[in-house]
Structure 1
Amino acid sequence: MNDGIVREQLYQRYIEPTKKKRQDYVGIEIEMPIVNLDKQPVDFSVVHTVTDRFIRHFAFEPAGIDDEGNIYSAANQETGDILSYDCSYNNLELSLGRRKDLHAIRQCFRGYYEFLQKEFGAYHYTLTGMGVNPHRTINRNVPIPNGRYRMLFHHLNSYKNYTVPMFFHSYPEYGTFSSASQVQLDVDYDDLLTTLSVFSKVEPIKALLFSNSVLLGEHEELLCCRDMFWENSTHGINPHNVGMFECSFDSIDELMSYIESTSIYCVERGDKYINFPPVNIMEYFRQASVTGEYFADGAYHSIEVTPQIDDIQYLRTFKFEDLTFRGTVEFRSVCCQPIADCMTVAAFHVGLKNRLHDLDQIFENDHVIYHHGYTPSELRKMFNNRALPSFVDEDELYAFAKRIVDLASDGLSARGYGEESLLAPLYDRLEQRTNPARKMLTLREQGTPLEEIILQYGAI
């Protein structure tokens, strides 16, 4: 296929939507672990029962049915709100349809959450606000039985087949026990490059404030293992598909070149999800066919795939700042937060987006974390750890982080919805020099039972 055709389609998919003038909407996705407080694996029949009751109560309509006839996704057509299960039935996700006011989103989330907690509570289950399911070693970490998640699970488990010069972790099932808090914000064409660049620079501060995914009993010095899960899996074979933008872009052409450097690893043909070793998107369309695998009748089968231009829709990257086909940037590096603090993630990003160029200037002139020889990615990895890097002055670091939160508060105040109050938990973390992961480890060291922490992080 002609390279020019592919480039034009990529431009139409990712760049053109940012030129459309839109309202300043916010979309929020909150994934949450489901925990059986009897310290037994989550019984998926309980999950299906609660799902059915939720759908009836809130007048949602089934949107996804697995191969065993169970609902894994349901939506409210009026609001755009979605209840779904991400990767497995151990991980519940609430996606709140786009709205302007974060307080309205919070009120809607609260109504759904309180209903779910009541229903799960009848079985001695709970939802909680942790980035790693605290019962991951107890649960059945299996994918939802449908084409997409079975394909994804197979793709991640294929890491042993590769001889690429990179480290693979041994948690290919991580999607079944890791939970995130993601935000989508409309981005204008004129601000696109600055948004990707400056929010990449914010990532180390986000690690400091929001880290909340600890592998209890393993690697407890790592406060946010979320990055490792993605970057050191088959998703990270092409590093341009994951993590941060290591380069700044001086033009849209340079951004397009970056998009052209990413890889595709799956497509769909009829009712078959097909995965294959990641291949550069431009190279994919230059080939007459690609050999992949699909699942049928209890086994995987080889199949030859002829590239079609519509396959661009299956180009999935997992960047911390991910440009989407909706004309939005999805911020996806933050772990699920304690439920009472769940709106801090959106509030932080919305406020900073509203002060984008001020934020850019702060980082241009910073010497607290930058200009010490480290890239944003290297700093993010350092701040993901319990021990801060030795070159950083802790007092200066937290003062600098407060300056960023203050700017977010100012940006929210200018919106006129009173949303700046949602940042209060971040000010508490700054004052105490902690984050949810640090707090959890401290509580554990003080003898607080894990089940008590689970309930505490699940309180709203």
Structure 2
Amino acid sequence: MSIPQSGGGPIESFDQLAGLMESGCKPAADWRIGTEHEKFGWLTDTRQPLPYGGARSISALFAGLADRFGWSPVREGENVIGLTRDGANISLEPGGQFELSGAPLATIGETAAELENHLDEVRQIADPLGIRFMGIGAAPEWRHDQMPVMPKGRYRLMTDYMGRVGTHGTQMMYRTSTVQVNLDYGSEADMVKKLRVALALQPVATALFASSPFFDGKENGHKSWRSRIWRGLDNSRTGMLPFAFDDGMGFQAYVDWVLDVPMYFVYRDGQYINALGQSFRDFLKGELPALPGEKPTLSDWADHMTTVFPEARVKKYIEMRGADAGDRAHLVALPAFWVGLMYDGGALDAAWDLVKGFDTETREELRVAASVSALQAQVGDVKMADLAQAAVALSAAGLAARGHGEEAWLAPVQDSLSRGEVQADRWLRLYRGDWGGALAPIYEAASL
């Protein structure tokens, strides 16, 4: 989940809304890679989730990281809710999932080094406290009532709203973890092509990185329960964005969609003001019930843009949002997969050729099938394993063309394709075999 945004001052023209995205356009030489990953903290003696406060807690980790490694605290009221340093930040998901939002970097090798440095710093503080972290798409055993609640006003509002508009919203907030990569675009046309490829191939990422076959202490019938949860959250702000494939797609079409998504809040003076279900269009007219007579700033618009959750999201860059969190190798393989497809023109064109014949129904059915069956999914004559094989090959070629040796970071997904087994399949095989139907071993097995 995002921290408050800094988009700019008062909105004086409707064109500024699309202009915020347009301002993200960059020449290819300036394109960067921003990787975000979440992980579950757990106490080694009890296997319980990591609380916010106390001697063994998120607060203690924050204090240790700030004191020893120079991270600066980010506060909401009296509570430290994150850390920042050198263009990166550490933030909290609603259930205490510990998230690194990495700095914008030039290569996958730099991304891998950033991840290793982060995990090493965290481990130095966490190990003496009896705290570990695991990379997995959904909490295997913890019930909703066991999850800690982070002291963030945004999450209090969202928890109430999620409970009223969908069936799985609070599960997403408190008991799932993801890895995503944020990538740049060069122009409006480049954004459109990248967004279409990202949406159409997001089910491939869901399949390749599926790691959440357990929930509430048992098998859940899906390889990616995290992906299943997103389909029962809030249809007004999630999904595969069919309009993105229409003629005339561009910044304005995306703006029009976001404007019609109900609001969550307005952030003022360190406080989240309840605007649940209200309209940003009314806000633009000075008619928002939460703030009568007041008109929004670009920062308000940037905040509102963080409350839509499609499978690929546009801000001043594009976020790839379809993958479960996983082990270290998979946390790096995810950005490698998308960089190879998106940052080489030949690979991007070829990727579009792979998916341009899919209609809305096929894209949605692939999304559903990926969450259930991962690489074993099939929709009509489209076999997920074949589609994934082709996409990974294109990614490898795109990475090779960049000349940094980054294609080596695709090894985990190439191995999955050769075995026909993703992380979720491995967990299920162990659970049904060596673990004897017990989930206690997964905490150590999935530890980062």
Q: What are the Cα deviations for residues 241-286 of structure 1, in whole angstroms up to 9, with x where unaligned? A: 2122213143325444434443322112334312334345334434
Is 1:7 the counterpart of 2:14? The answer is yes
Pairing partner for 2:110 from 104, 126, 136: 104
Gap regions ≥5 residues in structure 1: 163-167, 292-303
Asked if structure 2 preserves the Cα contact closer than 8 Å seen for 1:10 and 1:312, the reply is: yes
Q: Please tell me the residue identity of whatever aligns with 1:222.
A: H
Equivalence for 1:272: 271
Q: 1:60 to 1:201 in 2, by over 3 A?
A: same
Gap regions ≥5 residues in structure 2: 1-10
Equivalent runs, 1:382-397 vs 2, <5 Å: 382-386=369-373, 388-389=376-377, 397=384
Instruction: Note the C-alpha offset of 1:80.
Output: 1.3
Asked if structure 1 preserves the Cα contact closer than 8 Å seen for 2:223 and 2:373, the reply is: yes
Is 1:331 the counterpart of 2:327? The answer is no
Distance in structure 2 (CA, Å) of the matches to 1:330 and 1:350: 12
Distance in structure 2 (CA, Å) of the matches to 1:260 and 1:120: 42
Equivalence for 2:155: 149
Distance in structure 1 (CA, Å) of the matches to 2:33 and 2:403: 15
RMSD: 2.9
Is 1:458 the counterpart of 2:409? The answer is no
Instruction: Note the C-alpha offset of 1:108.
Output: 2.4
Asked if structure 2 preserves the Cα contact closer than 8 Å seen for 1:246 and 1:375, the reply is: no
Per mean C-alpha deviation after superposition, the further-off stretch among 245-254 and 177-186 is 245-254
Q: 1:262 to 1:21 in 2, by over 3 A?
A: farther
- TM-score, normalization: structure 1? 0.82
Aligned length: 422
Equivalence for 1:246: 242
Is 1:196 the counterpart of 2:195? The answer is yes
Equivalence for 2:129: 123
Match of 1:27, SS? strand
Distance in structure 1 (CA, Å) of the matches to 2:267 and 2:131: 36
Per mean C-alpha deviation after superposition, the further-off stretch among 148-157 and 107-116 is 148-157
Distance in structure 2 (CA, Å) of the matches to 1:288 and 1:397: 48
Equivalent runs, 1:49-68 vs 2, <5 Å: 49-62=60-73, 64-67=74-77
Equivalent runs, 1:42-441 vs 2, <5 Å: 42-44=50-52, 45=54, 46-47=56-57, 48-62=59-73, 64-67=74-77, 69-76=78-85, 79-89=86-96, 91-137=97-143, 140-157=146-163, 159=164, 168-170=166-168, 172=170, 174-189=172-187, 190-216=189-215, 217=217, 220-233=220-233, 236-238=234-236, 241-247=237-243, 248-251=245-248, 252=250, 253-286=252-285, 288-291=287-290, 305-310=292-297, 311-316=300-305, 317-324=308-315, 327-356=316-345, 358-364=347-353, 374-386=361-373, 388-389=376-377, 397-441=384-428
Distance in structure 2 (CA, Å) of the matches to 1:377 and 1:371: 10
Distance in structure 1 (CA, Å) of the matches to 2:294 and 2:424: 44
Match of 1:428, SS? helix
Asked if structure 2 preserves the Cα contact closer than 8 Å seen for 1:29 and 1:93, the reply is: yes
- TM-score, normalization: structure 2? 0.84
Distance in structure 2 (CA, Å) of the matches to 1:356 and 1:74: 36
Q: What are the Cα deviations for residues 63-113 of structure 1, in whole angstroms up to 9, with x where unaligned? A: x2244x44221111xx21222222233x11112111102212211221220
Q: 1:82 to 1:210 in 2, by over 3 A?
A: same
Pairing partner for 2:37 from 30, 33, 58: 30
Q: What are the Cα deviations for residues 133-154 of structure 1, in whole angstroms up to 9, with x where unaligned? A: 2342287423221322323333
